[in-house]
């Protein structure tokens, strides 16, 4: 069985983002970029399934400018076998990404698609669900455990009240939560090997998908900043302030 893992290049999670002065977006010039943490977990899970003998090939795919090849190489160094770069300079929304991925699914015919539940830049949490809708597959979102058995995948999902387990008919889409696994570090030999693994580039407009979205960003502003308050010296002072100043207890 082949596993397809769509991944995204995003700002590194340690970077403190700054909004551009003209409010058109976030300043990404000279900012450290990385594989989205949830995507890294998705790659790790796919590689583990392969190592356990449950999958034959792990294919990673990313959509964007040539820069995304850096993250595809990272994924290859983590153990993916082959990469696809869907090239476009255009900014895409989740629906357009899902439509392109649905085309890739039709071509590659994976038995399972594993992807991150959200990208830490747009924080949308949509692509996996949309891809599942467009391909008619079942979806196991926010996964903290994935098991393959008898042509099905059992997915334990992190939900507001606790955990829920669902069984999905294959092929299916799984989106990863943080506790699914702890991704390995790519070793130097694997980073070297990754440079030689196949990476195919396909133009996004060759799929016949409309890439424009009906949603326009009017402005991006900095959040209302919170004033730091005071330090209290004792528990007694804290309780007094909460009672008489803040009046919240």
Ligand X SMILES: Cc1cc2nc3c(=O)[nH]c(=O)nc-3n(C[C@H](O)[C@H](O)[C@H](O)COP(=O)(O)OP(=O)(O)OC[C@H]3O[C@@H](n4cnc5c(N)ncnc54)[C@H](O)[C@@H]3O)c2cc1C
How is residue 143 written in tokens?
């996964």
Q: How far is the CB of 146 from another protein (least distance, A)?
A: 13
CA separation for the pair 157, 144 (Å, rounded):
6
Looking only at the bridges linking them, the beta strands covering 152-159 and 162-169 are antiparallel
Cβ proximity to another protein, 27 vs 200, nearer residue: 27
Cβ proximity to another protein, 203 vs 242, nearer residue: 242
**175 backbone dihedrals φ, ψ, rounded to 5°:** -110, 140
Q: How far is the CB of 162 from another protein (least distance, A)?
A: 4
Verify binding: residue 183, ligand X, rule CB under 6 A.
Answer: no
Verify binding: residue 13, ligand X, rule CB under 6 A.
Answer: yes
C-alpha angle 104/36/178, rounded to 5°? 105
Which residue among 1, 19, 199, 211 contacts another protein (CB under 8 A)? 19
Cβ proximity to ligand X, 9 vs 99, nearer residue: 9
Tell me which of another protein, ligand X, none is bound by residue 219, counting a contact when its beta carbon lies within the kind-specific cut-off of 5 to 8 angstroms.
Answer: another protein
Verify binding: residue 244, another protein, rule CB under 8 A.
Answer: no
> Which string of x and - marks every residue 91-130 that binds ligand X (by CB under 6 A)?
-----------------------------x----------
Sequential DSSP letters for 100-164:
HHHHHHHHH--SEEEEES--TTT----HHHHHHHHHT-EEEEEEEEEEEETTEEEEEEEETTEEE
Which residue among 1, 108, 121, 186 contacts another protein (CB under 8 A)? 121
Which residue among 2, 5, 37, 143 contacts ligand X (CB under 6 A)? 37
Sequential DSSP letters for 37-61:
HHHHHHHHHHHHHHHTTS-SEEEEE
Which of 3, 95, 83 lies closest to 51 in space, CA to CA?
3
Verify binding: residue 167, another protein, rule CB under 8 A.
Answer: yes
Cβ proximity to another protein, 145 vs 193, nearer residue: 145
């Amino acid at each position: 069985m082949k596993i397809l893992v769509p991944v995204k290049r995003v700002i590194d999670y340690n970077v403190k983002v700054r909004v551009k002065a003209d409010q058109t977006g976030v300043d990404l010039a000279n900012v450290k970029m990385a594989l989205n943490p949830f995507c890294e977990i998705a790659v790790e899970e796919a590689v583990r399934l392969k190592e356990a003998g449950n999958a034959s090939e792990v294919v990673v795919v990313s959509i964007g400018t040539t820069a995304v090849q850096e993250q595809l190489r990272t994924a290859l160094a983590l153990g993916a076998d082959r990469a696809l770069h869907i090239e476009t300079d255009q900014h895409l929304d989740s629906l357009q990404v899902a439509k392109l991925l649905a085309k890739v699914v039709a071509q590659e015919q994976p038995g399972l698609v594993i992807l991150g539940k959200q990208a830490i830049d747009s924080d949308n949490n949509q692509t996996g669900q949309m891809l599942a809708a467009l391909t008619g597959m079942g979806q196991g979102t926010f996964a903290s455990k994935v098991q393959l058995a008898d042509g099905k995948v059992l997915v334990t999902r992190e939900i507001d009240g606790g955990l829920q387990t669902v069984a999905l008919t294959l092929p299916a889409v799984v989106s990863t939560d943080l506790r699914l696994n702890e991704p390995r570090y790519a070793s130097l030999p694997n980073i070297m090997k990754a440079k030689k693994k196949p990476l195919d580039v396909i133009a996004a407009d060759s799929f016949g998908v409309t890439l424009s979205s009906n949603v326009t960003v009017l402005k991006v502003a900095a959040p209302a900043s919170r004033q730091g308050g005071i330090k209290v010296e004792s528990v007694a002072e804290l309780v007094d302030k909460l009672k008489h100043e803040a009046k919240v207890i």
